[in-house]
Chains A and B, each alone.
Chain A
Amino acid sequence: MNTDNANKVIVTKGLKKTYHDNGVPVEAVRGIDFTLTEGEFTAIIGPSGSGKTTFLNLMAGLDSPTDGEVELSGKLISAMSGKELSNYRRDHIGFIFQAYNLFPVLTVEENIEYIMLLQGIKKKERHERVINILKQVELEDYAHRLPSKLSGGQQQRVAVARAMVSRPKLIIADEPTANLDSKTSGDLLDMMRKLNEETGMTFLFSTHDEIVMKRARKVVTLRDGLLDTAEEKLIQ
């Protein structure tokens, strides 16, 4: 990593993505320059269809851009093979999706340790980390329950625990409160912000939820596939 990229988790340059919906080209992202630095707790906001999810997917390497570049910790995604990218995501990015993102056939404990299994972490260490993270998300009594036996808020807390337990540099959360009531959303965001402050992990959200916006330290607005730099805010 060169010094310019020090502390920069994600850098995008001229990022574009065009989909074809029944043969009709749809420009979801139309040339975004964006930088995310370590420790940020940033929300990308915008109305439905503004390209938030597409932008997050491009930054996480879940989708390939039509044009432009994405650098993850100084490495160009386009220079990585599929396997390298998959391994990079496994080791450096934690994901929280809208809902139903837990594996329904695995218990809370098994869901949380899944990524550590992929990483080849030993059983003892996996167990210790699971116990600790469950305490942090206040779900230590639910370790052996299946996701279907948890409330929506509890499920998202498990998702947060799963995303964080492998100690990634970056947590990407795509509308994490979309299916939660306002109190649960507030509690979840408070917990995530606390974890951000304690661990220094970088959080990047997409949302159109006021509760998330109020708790984010930085808010960037996406409109029609472009960043609205005039509306970028730093919140103390």
Chain B
Amino acid sequence: MFARLILISWRNVMRNKRRTMITGVAIGVGLAAMMFSDALFAGMSTLMVETTTDTWMGDAQIHREGFQETANITFTIQHPQRIDSMLQADTLAVASTGRLISPASLQSAMEMKPVTLMGVDHLTEGQVSMLEAATDTGNYFSGDSMEMIIGYKLAADMDLALGDIAVITTAMAESGFASRMFRVSGICKFGSDQYDRYTAFVNIESAGSLLDLTGELHEIAIRFSDPMVAMDPDLPFWTVFSADSNKAEGWPVLAPQITSMIRMANVSLGIQAAILFGLVLFGIVNSLFMSVYERMYEFGVMKAVGTSKRAIILMVLLEAFWLGLAGSIIGTLLGFGVIQYFASVGISFGEVDFSGVMFDRPIHTLVDWSRLWIYPAATLLFTTLAGIYPGIHAGNLNPSEAMRKSL
């Protein structure tokens, strides 16, 4: 009997092809919109994370406890060589680089500005941050102790050009101040004021001698094989590298505003999904009720000849299932097509500086079937469940009344 009900329900759905097509397309468009929104949010989240981590932060960082809160340059990382060895052996970390960071002042012949002195390891920095890629004028570090890279805005403010000399003055770790001359070897453009206007990059050895912290590190930035791994707060990595007064943290902790944005995007996506599924649900209920009312006489005859209430409910549920299946197929194909198109061309929202990170790249929709399959499946489930109410209504019809009303 179930096989026959499947057949009858399919043929019933195909009786009014235009209505089925319109309903299927309505479901499909709703589904495609949901899939597109999800893919867009996924692309946006990935872009935000990648931009944030690629620019400077890396996927994780290790500091001495208290350094970030106080910027006290004496809070250097404990046992940096041992940590470096551990990172070399760690399967999660694919690259890492050490840095020295200190407040300083930069003085040219014309100007003096407060900056953050950033001592970087020129051999490994490029594997973690975009400093090398962002140095679009002059040269990246070669290892010369006089080299300095500054942002294009800082260069303009200080009236500095390639080859010009500037002096960096900073407090030393133990006591006193130190000054040293550097030559502008490169000018970089990150797209963010934090690095383009307020940071001076030098070789880590030079920074170490200036700060009297040779061989020490304030920060180790780490690149993971997958940035999203850092979202796991229970990752053993955090415990292993948070020892001896050091603290290892991932980008969700280091850039909580990004995590909040992603969480907010997920919540709004959930609300949007609830609204869309609600609309689809009512649309299906309406369509099925119309179909039931048009076939009152048939339901009356079915009941009269002994068809059980359960069989009638099941038949209407199956009709809803077919509508849902049609809508899911249409929606999946449509959604996939739109997502693929925007995955290829991207959507540009212009340049946005958010928490020191410039989001200027177009957002490419991200096809992640581990998430996207939920939408067609949920559509199919909800549209089928939408058949319950009209099904019960049809199942409860009094046969004589149903036949009388429809005559």
B179 an interface residue at 8 Å Cβ cutoff? no
Give the CA-CA distance A89 to B400 in the complex, in Å.
13
B1 near A117: Cβ-Cβ < 8 Å: yes
B12 near A105: Cβ-Cβ < 8 Å: yes
A83 an interface residue at 8 Å Cβ cutoff? yes
B306 near A91: Cβ-Cβ < 8 Å: yes
Q: Is the interface of A mostly helix, strand, loop or mixed?
A: helix
Q: Which residues of B have CB within 8 Å of A161? A: none
- Chain B's nearest CB lies how many Å from the CB of A114? 7
Q: Which residues of A have CB within 8 Å of B401? A: 63
Give the CA-CA distance A175 to B302 in the complex, in Å.
18
- Chain A's nearest CB lies how many Å from the CB of B76? 80
Name B's A-contacting residues (CB within 8 A).
1, 4, 7-8, 11-12, 15, 297-298, 301-309, 311, 398-401, 403-404, 407
A89 near B403: Cβ-Cβ < 8 Å: no
A100 near B297: Cβ-Cβ < 8 Å: yes
- Chain B's nearest CB lies how many Å from the CB of A70? 13
- Chain A's nearest CB lies how many Å from the CB of B14? 8
Q: Is the interface of B mostly helix, strand, loop or mixed?
A: helix
Q: Which residues of B have CB within 8 Å of A89? A: 304-306
A78 an interface residue at 8 Å Cβ cutoff? no
Interface size on A, residues (CB 8 A): 28
Give the CA-CA distance A42 to B263 in the complex, in Å.
76
Give the CA-CA distance A122 to B254 in the complex, in Å.
70
- The 22 sampled A-B contact pairs (Cβ below 8 Å) are A53-B404, A54-B400, A57-B399, A60-B304, A62-B303, A62-B304, A62-B398, A62-B399, A63-B400, A83-B308, A86-B307, A89-B304, A89-B305, A97-B301, A101-B297, A101-B301, A103-B302, A106-B8, A110-B4, A110-B7, A118-B305, A118-B306
Give the CA-CA distance A60 to B398 in the complex, in Å.
13
Name A's B-contacting residues (CB within 8 A).
53-54, 57, 60, 62-63, 82-83, 86-87, 89-91, 95, 97-98, 100-101, 103-106, 110, 114-115, 117-118, 120
In the complex, residue of chain A having the shortest beta-carbon distance to the beta carbon of B9: A105
Give the CA-CA distance A117 to B315 in the complex, in Å.
15
Give the CA-CA distance A101 to B11 in the complex, in Å.
17
Give the CA-CA distance A91 to B306 in the complex, in Å.
8
Q: Which residues of B have CB within 8 Å of A60? A: 304
Give the CA-CA distance A100 to B404 in the complex, in Å.
13
Q: Which residues of A have CB within 8 Å of B309? A: 82
A115 near B306: Cβ-Cβ < 8 Å: yes
B298 near A87: Cβ-Cβ < 8 Å: no
Q: Which residues of A have CB within 8 Å of B307? A: 86, 90, 118
Q: Which residues of A have CB within 8 Å of B311? A: 118
A95 near B8: Cβ-Cβ < 8 Å: no
B8 near A86: Cβ-Cβ < 8 Å: no
Q: Which residues of B have CB within 8 Å of A54? A: 400
Identify B15's interface contact among A83, A90, A101, A104, CB under 8 A: A104
Give the CA-CA distance A214 to B7 in the complex, in Å.
42
Give the CA-CA distance A100 to B407 in the complex, in Å.
10
Q: Which residues of B have CB within 8 Å of A101? A: 297, 301
Give the CA-CA distance A63 to B303 in the complex, in Å.
12
Q: Which residues of A have CB within 8 Å of B15? A: 104-105
Give the CA-CA distance A95 to B303 in the complex, in Å.
11
Identify B305's interface contact among A83, A105, A106, A115, CB under 8 A: A115
In the complex, residue of chain B having the shortest beta-carbon distance to the beta carbon of A54: B400
Q: Which residues of B have CB within 8 Å of A87? A: 306
A90 near B11: Cβ-Cβ < 8 Å: no
B301 near A117: Cβ-Cβ < 8 Å: no
Q: Which residues of A have CB within 8 Å of B305? A: 89-90, 95, 114-115, 118
